[in-house]
Amino acid sequence: MYFLKRLFFALPLLLLISFLAFMLVHVAPGGPFDRERKPASPEIEHQLQAKYHLDEPAWKQYLRFLGDLSRGDLGPSLKYRNHSVNDIIAQALPVSLVLGALAFGLSVGIGVPIGYFSAVRRGRWQDYAGSFFAILMVCIPAFVLAPFLVMYLGIRWRMLPVALWGTPAHTVMPVIALGLFFSGRIARLMREGMLQVLRAEFITTARAKGLSEHTVLLRHAFRLAILPVVSYCGPLLADLLTGSFVIESLFQIPGLGTFLVNGSLNRDYTLVVGLVLLYAVLLIGLNLLVDFAYVVLDRRVKYA
Amino acid sequence: MIALRQNAPRQPRGAFSFHAFPALILVLLLLLIGCGRPQPAAEIVIANGGEPESLDPAIVTSYSDMRITKALFEGLLRLDGEQGRPVPGLASHWEISPDQTVYTFHLRSNLVWSTGEPITAEDVYFSWKRALDPATASDYAGQLFYIRNAEDFYTGKLKDFAEVGLRVLDRLTFRVELNSPLAFFLDLCCFPTLAVVPQKSIERAGDRWIGERPLPSSGPYSLVYWRLNDRVRLRKNPQYWDAAHTRTDVIDILPTGSPNVALNLYETGIADIVWDKDLIPTELLEVLKQRPDFHTFNYLGTYFYRFNVTRKPLDDPRLRRAFALSTDKDRIVRKLTQGGEKPAYQFVPNGVANYTPPQGLSFDPAQARELLAAAGFPGGRGFPTLNYTFFSAAGGAAKMQGKIAVELQQMWREHLGVTVELRQIERKVFYNTQSRLDYDLSASSWVGDYNDANTFLDLYLSNSGNNRTGWKNPAYDDLIRRANQQTDTARRAGLLREAEALLVETEAPVVPVFFYAGFNCFDPKKIGGLNQNLLDEHPLQDLFRRPAATNPDRTRED
């Protein structure tokens, strides 16, 4: 019931987001057809505007957009004029999904164990090594790591393709460059969470009852300690799944991130609004999933 | 909302384990392997500039997109790959009336679409009519306004298309009537806007006809697929009239946005050719220039700056000349651009067909100071602070704009004693600002559409949307108009030269800085059929890979 209510409220929220996105891109100075080269006559320029209804008042354009949206059509792209925004999403979203999910898997797969063991071996060399790794990863942004990988794995040693997309080999470097950064953050969250839970009274109780250390840590502590990581993962996953501009442009990957950034630079109104909406849907959906995961992980959590 | 029940934690029922993660990753990897069907490698792979805006020849505006559309859709004529001059395309020959206003084109008799249907004069008629149809919203519809009544039809003054100067005389004969003689009309016939496109597909699928498969093509290649931001694959069209001379079966075009990626792809053998001036990694130019596979050449483009002549004190041509005379263009190409650019003293680039440009204003700070003093600002005293507006970007060719701006600012301070503030704004805002004449001086560039001085000089006609200086000069308009109606090549060149002298020597609403250098990167031992010419014109059907004997081990990931 609670989740149904949340879903119900998501609709007006999406509407509001679409309105804000639509108005913001239109308010930005310059338009999609402001280019170095103007058509030979003002009439041609006017036709360009008229074809995409850019000569109408903004509220009318917005209503037109909503009308199309109700039919599941996000409209034509103003820059890529042979394509609709739906086409672009259909082609680029799967790429971003694969890249994002792999990077997410990598960051969680590395971050959680490292955080866990750092906390369990607190103050010993494993802790220092793990924390050092986490700090290092957080400090190296993707745009530094990626060229470094390309230089060695791609150009010097010719082990992996330097760019493009299509085979598993193409995913290795982008996934590492994208995922490692977040693995550092996850490791830190995990370590903090674990340390906090281990101080809790019920852990002492569990130990006092004579449960094995293994059971105490994995069955009791871990479930609660991972909650901060889970809350962080919702927005993170939404972020990763909708593409990363930096990684996509460094490896020339045909994902959504490049379209979102270039779309706003090109004042491709329809494309930007469509992608913002997609991002909002993912974000709302994943946050809902996170809340759901709380119920599963922490039985004290109940939604009224 | 979330409520924590504060009673004791219940025993968890099942242990949560993170064994699921490796499994998840494995599943995803398998999924990925399943998706990535290995595809046969193309014979030639080209890094070609940004993602195509379109492959519809009536819609494309950028030169990198046009390279692809020219391979798919041919016009009555096409440009050859040696010199970039017009040669017969779908039309085998043509007659021009003595007054040079009526062109009668004869189509080849063996023309068919890649899907097998014949191409006739009706297809040409349809294609040109479509480009002129306001509903198509073609940027370059203006290329057809030289045709009788075409502009009136476009603007709606004329309702009946039958009155536009286009006639289908018979199945293979097409006649065009122009408003007046036009020296470069055959060059225009090579331009993508005038290419022949498939009527049936367009009527079926509207604006999205390029998505039809199979897509009928009239050029030497047909489209296998176009994957956004990934690649465009072209395959030889065996039905093309000159298919015997198409030398490569499969060509991949990689939309490449970044010079660094382009160079990485080239260095690791994934791309065979890099050919866009925006893909020059300026940081590495010094090293690249020494290499035998790096080719630069004169290019049909000019970098310059505009004055807003509607603002005081720049409405005084003496001051504009003073700025021009104090601009050390040689220093800019030597110290900054370094890619083989030539300093520009005229607006029309060197080597344009049938034209000799005027002298232009050279670098002469002493004379500049005299002019400044004569205009009432001796030594720059009392001269207001003006702005120099430009856009810049983090990398690539646009990064250079900022460096040039700083250099120009320094030159004007040093030689004229005037202060010019630099105003850097975002690209779309910049073009909008420039069009609205909301600047004092602004950075600009122009690349010609065809090999004729007119594609540069008609910018500064009083009514041109690309004028963007506020400069209106009836004498200039008259010279250009008379030149374009002139049927004698030498007399025409003289009139154009007179007009350009007015533009760059007397009135100076613009100051040319340098002529662009073209840039092709390919190994001539591996790739053939790629010549450097002023238009950077490289028909795909001429390209070929040299036999493997000279090229023993090739590794390619595809």
Q: How confident is the model at residue B395 (pLDDT cuts 50, 70, 90)?
A: low
Cβ neighbourhood burial of B71 (10 Å; 0-12, 13-18, 19+): buried
B490 vs A: CB within 8 A: no
Q: How confident is the model at residue B556 (pLDDT cuts 50, 70, 90)?
A: very low
Interface test with A, best of B48, B264, B389, B462 (most A CBs within 10 A): B264
Q: How confident is the model at residue B5 (pLDDT cuts 50, 70, 90)?
A: very low
Say if residue B342 is in the same domain as residue B461: yes
B30 vs A: CB within 8 A: no
- The two three-digit tokens of residue B541, written as one number: 């059907």
Q: Specify the pLDDT at position B2.
A: 42
Q: Please name the amino acid found at residue A181.
A: F
CB atoms within 10 A of CB B5: 12
Domain end marker among B150, B176, B204: B204
Across B156-175, b (16+ Cβ under 10 Å) vs e yields eeeeeeeebbbebeeebbbb
Q: How confident is the model at residue B27 (pLDDT cuts 50, 70, 90)?
A: low
Across the interface, which of A41, A170, A301 has its CB nearest the CB of B465?
A: A41
Look at residue B78 and tell me whether its pLDDT is greater than 90: yes
Q: Specify the pLDDT at position A110.
A: 95
A155–B15 CB contact, under 8 Å? no
Residues B227-240 pLDDT 10s: 999 999 999 999 99
Look at residue B553 and tell me whether its pLDDT is greater than 70: no
Say if residue B333 is in the same domain as residue B185: no
pLDDT, mean of residues A296-300:
83
Alpha helix segments (H runs only) across B213-275: 259-267
Q: How confident is the model at residue B31 (pLDDT cuts 50, 70, 90)?
A: low
Cα–Cα distances (Å) from A175 to A94, A154, A168, A248, A254, in that order, read 15, 14, 11, 11, 14
pLDDT, mean of residues A114-142:
92
Domain end marker among B189, B204, B219: B204
A167–B151 CB contact, under 8 Å? no
d(CA A125, CA A112): 18
Q: Specify the pLDDT at position A247.
A: 93
Count how many domains chain B has. 2
Look at residue B289 and tell me whether its pLDDT is greater than 80: yes
Q: Could you list the residue range(s) of the whole structural domain that residue B432 is in?
A: 300-517
d(CA A176, CA A155): 17
Say if residue B512 is in the same domain as residue B378: yes
d(CA B54, CA A82): 6
Residues B342-386 pLDDT 10s: 999 999 999 999 999 999 999 999 999 999 999 999 999 999 999
Say if residue B172 is in the same domain as residue B320: no
* Nearest-CA distance B53 → chain A (Å): 4
CB within 8 Å of chain A, chain B residues 223-242: 227-231
A10/A300: higher pLDDT: A10
Provide DSSP, A32-85.
Answer: TT--SS--SSHHHHHHHHHHTTTTS-HHHHHHHHHHHHHTT---B-SSSTT-BH
B428–A39 CB contact, under 8 Å? no
Q: Is residue B430 included in any domain, yes or no?
A: yes
The CATH number of whichever domain residue B459 belongs to comes to 3.10.105.10
Inter-helix orientation angle A269-297/A85-120, to 10°: 30
Alpha helix segments (H runs only) across B175-237: 185-188, 199-205
The torsion angles phi and psi of A63, rounded to 5 degrees, stand at -60, -40
B207 neighbourhood in chain A, CB within 8 Å? 76, 81-82
Q: Specify the pLDDT at position A300.
A: 81
Across the interface, which of B36, B228, B258 has its CB nearest the CB of A91?
A: B228
Judge whether B256 and B265 are in contact, CB under 8 Å.
yes
CA neighbor of B411 nearest in space, from B324, B518, B530: B324
- Identify the structural domains of chain A with CATH numbers, from first to last: 1-24+55-76+267-304 (no CATH), 91-259 (1.10.3720.10)
Percent above pLDDT 70 for chain B: 90
Cβ neighbourhood burial of B34 (10 Å; 0-12, 13-18, 19+): exposed
pLDDT, mean of residues A243-255:
92
Percent above pLDDT 90 for chain A: 71
Tell me the pLDDT of chain B averaged across its residues. Answer: 90
Q: How many CB pairs under 8 A join A and B?
A: 228
B143 vs A: CB within 8 A: yes
Look at residue B9 and tell me whether its pLDDT is greater than 70: no
Q: Specify the pLDDT at position B91.
A: 98
B10/A98: higher pLDDT: A98
Look at residue B4 and tell me whether its pLDDT is greater than 50: no
Cβ neighbourhood burial of B135 (10 Å; 0-12, 13-18, 19+): exposed
Across the interface, which of A45, A112, A147 has its CB nearest the CB of B465?
A: A45
Say if residue B197 is in the same domain as residue B333: no
Look at residue A128 and tell me whether its pLDDT is greater than 80: yes
d(CA B216, CA B218): 7
d(CA B249, CA B541): 9
Q: Is residue B412 included in any domain, yes or no?
A: yes
Nearby residues of A107 by Cβ (< 8 Å), 6 or more positions away: A179, A180, A181, A182, A183, A185, A186, A236
Say if residue B337 is in the same domain as residue B468: yes
Q: Is residue B291 included in any domain, yes or no?
A: no
d(CA B370, CA A226): 77
Q: Is residue B382 included in any domain, yes or no?
A: yes
B432–A30 CB contact, under 8 Å? yes
B162 vs A: CB within 8 A: no
Look at residue B3 and tell me whether its pLDDT is greater than 70: no
Q: How confident is the model at residue B285 (pLDDT cuts 50, 70, 90)?
A: confident
Nearby residues of B197 by Cβ (< 8 Å), 6 or more positions away: B56, B57, B58, B73, B123, B126, B127, B130, B218
Question: Which of A235-249, B132-146, B311-325, B449-463 is predicted least confidently?
Answer: A235-249
Q: Specify the pLDDT at position B328.
A: 97
Q: To the nearest 10°, the Cα dihedral for A73, A75, A77, A83? A: 50
Pairing of strands B86-88, B77-79: antiparallel
* E strand or H helix at A200: none
DSSP state of B192: G
Q: Specify the pLDDT at position B22.
A: 56
Q: How confident is the model at residue A6 (pLDDT cuts 50, 70, 90)?
A: confident
Alpha helix segments (H runs only) across A140-167: 142-149
Q: Specify the pLDDT at position B164.
A: 97
Q: How confident is the model at residue A9 (pLDDT cuts 50, 70, 90)?
A: confident
User: How many angstroms from the chain centroid is the CA of residue A90?
Assistant: 17
Q: Is residue B24 included in any domain, yes or no?
A: no
A83–B208 CB contact, under 8 Å? yes
Q: Specify the pLDDT at position B14.
A: 39
Q: How confident is the model at residue A35 (pLDDT cuts 50, 70, 90)?
A: confident
Q: Is residue B416 included in any domain, yes or no?
A: yes
Domain end marker among B178, B204, B230: B204
Q: How confident is the model at residue B37 (pLDDT cuts 50, 70, 90)?
A: low
Residues B483-538 pLDDT 10s: 998 989 999 999 999 999 999 999 999 999 999 999 899 999 999 999 999 999 99
d(CA B526, CA B272): 8
Nearest chain B residue to A160 by CA distance is B557
A103/B8: higher pLDDT: A103
Q: Is residue B223 included in any domain, yes or no?
A: no
Q: Is residue B529 included in any domain, yes or no?
A: no
The CATH number of whichever domain residue B97 belongs to comes to 3.90.76.10
Q: How confident is the model at residue A38 (pLDDT cuts 50, 70, 90)?
A: confident
d(CA A243, CA A279): 10
